[in-house]
């Protein structure tokens, strides 16, 4: 990762995720990779939702435009509890200041309450401090 992304690399990013789901988002870089989490509302399933993902970033488009793939899990709390395995695929733009924006598509395999394939998508931003 280049110097242009040092604020993101060194800090904790707090922001929002908008789409499916919509809520608060947190991101913490560990070297070139990151942990990403959200606490949000799923309109599609009408429940409170949390996820945690490990993201592997690739900088072949440049220091400020990483693409990423990840692996994680999600829990949904509503009428029934839901457990989902997630594979986020996305792209971020790391501004020179302490700010990023991202867009992602997330295929997943819902395990509980029933096995089902699912796709979510969202965009958002983080402010790093």
Q: What is the CATH classification number for the domain harbouring 19?
A: 2.40.160.20
Mean pLDDT, residues 57-72 taken together: 93
Residue 94, preceding bond cis, omega within 30 degrees? no
Per DSSP, the residues of 52-72 read EEEEEEE-TT-TT--EEEEEE
Q: How many other CB atoms sit within 10 Å of the CB of residue 123?
A: 14
Q: Into how many domains does the chain fold?
A: 1
- Matching residue, tokens 């799923």: 42
The domain of 105 spans 3-128
- Helix or strand run (H / E) with residue 83: strand 81-86
Parallel, antiparallel or unpaired: strands 81-86 and 89-94: unpaired
Which pLDDT score is estimated for 3? 35
- Supply the pLDDT for residue 97: 84
| pLDDT tens sequence across 15-61 | 999 999 999 999 999 988 999 999 999 998 899 999 999 999 999 89
pLDDT in tens, 73-90: 999 999 889 999 999 999
Does the reported pTM lie above 0.85? Answer: yes
């Amino acid at each position: 990762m280049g110097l242009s992304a040092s604020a993101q690399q060194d800090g904790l990013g707090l922001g929002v995720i908008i789409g499916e789901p919509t809520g608060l988002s947190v991101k913490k870089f560990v070297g070139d990779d990151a942990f990403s989490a959200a606490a949000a509302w799923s309109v599609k399933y009408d429940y409170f939702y949390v996820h945690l993902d490990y993201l592997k970033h690739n900088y072949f488009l440049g220091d400020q435009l990483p693409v990423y793939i990840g692996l994680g899990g999600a829990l949904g709390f509503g009428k029934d509890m839901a457990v989902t395995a997630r594979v986020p695929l996305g792209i971020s733009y790391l501004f020179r200041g302490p700010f990023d924006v991202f867009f992602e598509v997330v295929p997943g395999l819902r395990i509980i309450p029933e096995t089902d394939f699912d796709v979510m998508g969202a965009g958002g931003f983080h402010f790093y401090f």
